[in-house]
Amino acid sequence: METGVTQRIFIVEDNDWYQKLLVHTVSLNPDYETEAFSTGKELLNRLNDEVPDLITMDYRLPDISGEELLEKIKAMCPGTQVIVISEQEEIETAVSLLKLGAYDYIVKGNDLRNRLLNTLANAQNQTKLLKKIEKLEKEVQTKYNFSDTIIGQSSKMQHIFMLLQKAVSNNITVSITGETGTGKEVIAKAIHYNSIYKDKPFVAINVAAIPKELFESELFGHEKGSFTGANQTRIGKFEEADGGTLFLDEIAELDPVFQAKLLRALQEREITRVGGNKVYKFNCRIIVATHKNLLQEVKSGAFREDLYYRLFGLPIELPPLREREKDALLMSKSFVERFCKENGMTVKKLSPAAQNKLLAYPWPGNVRELKSVIELAAVMSMNDVIDADDIVVASADILSGIIAEEMSLRAYNRRIVQLFLDKYNNNTKIVADKLDIGQTTIYRMLKEEEED
């Protein structure tokens, strides 16, 4: 509720004197507009036409009990705060009504007016806070809407969209792979905020960033006094994410010792805090991500095979930006518009030369690099058009490091081919297309290098 905005308050009181007192007391605040009723039935009929911001109700009405009326009010308008006013002083009655959803319970007496005004002010502040939280939650969910968050029309991204639709319709574990900067956490959040878990926490943790000695405490929590520095009980990420999503980033970096403990937790769907004996069940969706090839990590012995299959679930492999056709231009346009609007700048456009430069660059840092480059270009541009010179990339000339050395033409060619193989994960077909040579030429050059 915002100050200065009229708030509708319904008052239900069968005693005429008390009803006038309550109406007068509430009306002392010019921001409050009241409407009074003598029976519960009158109120319920009115609620079919209008939902007020707050209701005060007498506990004893001639036609309906306080408990029944409160239950009906909360069913019809769950967002409306209800203050119960009664002559009853029994603690049990007050506790019962508070459990049913009443905001407060006020006993009729000499301090009724002051208590009511204070309670109204507190209820107003709480409602304002709840509305603010609700607004922020909606903004977050909108922010991670698929169409707004994940931009791309390439064939590979259309396949990703199809997988995302499958991911949000159930609770299957999702494993996201892709090069650094491809947007793995963005994908994880998009899945969460478009699924049935969207109203519960999204808890992200970078496995590689957790010191070994703190791993169990971070994931499973600890009891007070369980180790030096454990001054109070703390819940872990599994409990924190209960009902929502736990995102384990860089899962391939998990120490082998803790792989077994994570596997057990996932199998049993339960954890035990460090220093404790009590078993805690958890119910959260698991999404993992890594820039490494997990299957290759299994073959090399660095990652447990049983944990791999437990986490594999629905695999989503994000393509690098260089393989996404003209998506870089679509994303650049979006980044420019967003950055200019956030900074009060006139929205700028990309010149044809700038677009060509964006498409020619291989983007080793992927989407993350593109976003940084575009935002810098928007700042560097002197007018409403971003030109090629405004786009500053880390290595615009990918051959600059090669030509500094003196070598034979054949050696130059081998170095160039190897550079492209490194950039494109040894995909000879892509490299052949990029260099406009045959795959057999690449194989021959590599064989010659081995023989030399």
> What backbone phi and psi angles, to 5 degrees, belong to 191?
-65, -50
What is the rounded distance in angstroms from the CA atom of residue 82 to the CA atom of residue 121? Answer: 13
pLDDT of residue 152: 87
Number of H helices, E strands in the chain: 19, 16
Q: What is the pLDDT of residue 2?
A: 43
* Chain mean position to CA 51: 32
Q: Is 402 left (phi over 0), alpha (psi -120 to 50) or beta?
A: alpha
Other beta carbons within 10 Å of 400 = 9
Distance from C-alpha of 415 to C-alpha of 402, rounded to nearest angstrom = 7
Q: Can you tell me the distance from the alpha carbon of 136 to that of 128, in angstroms, rounded to the nearest whole number?
A: 12
pLDDT at 119: 85
Low-confidence ranges of the chain (pLDDT < 70): 1-5, 128-148, 394-409, 412, 449-452
- CB-CB contact of 318 with 327 (8 Å): no
Contact 87/107 with Cβ under 8 angstroms?
yes
Residues 6 or more apart in contact with residue 313 via CB below 8 angstroms:
172, 173, 174, 175, 286
What was the pLDDT predicted at 248?
Answer: 96
- Residue pair 80/57 in contact by the 8 Å Cβ criterion: no
d(CA 289, CA 164): 15
Domains, the chain, ordered by start: 7-140 (3.40.50.2300), 148-319 (3.40.50.300), 326-448 (1.10.8.60)
Does the predicted TM-score (pTM) go above 0.85?
no
CA–CA separation, 186 and 246 (whole Å) = 14
pLDDT score recorded for residue 198: 86
